[in-house]
Amino acid sequence: MRDLKAQRVVVKIGTNTICKEDGSVDHDYIVDVARQVVKDFAGRVMHLLRMVEDLSLRSVEARLARLLLELAEGEVVQRRRWATQADLAARLGTVPDVVNRALRKLAAAGLIHVERQQIQILDGAGLRVVAQVVE
pLDDT in tens, 55-81: 888 899 999 999 999 888 888 888 775
Distance CA 55, CA 112 (A): 22
Other beta carbons within 10 Å of 22: 6
Per-domain boundaries in the chain = 11-52, 59-131
Across the beta sheet with 112-114, the strand order is 76-78, 118-121, 112-114
Distance CA 74, CA 124 (A): 10
| pTM over the 0.85 mark | no
Distance CA 33, CA 39 (A): 10
pLDDT in tens, 92-101: 989 999 999 9
Determine whether domain 59-131 maps to CATH 1.10.10.10.
yes
Distance CA 121, CA 114 (A): 9
pLDDT in tens, 105-126: 999 999 999 988 889 999 999 9
Q: Which of 73, 107, 76, 100 is nearest to 86 (CA)?
A: 100
Q: What is the dihedral of CA 114, 118, 124, 126, to 10 degrees?
A: 20
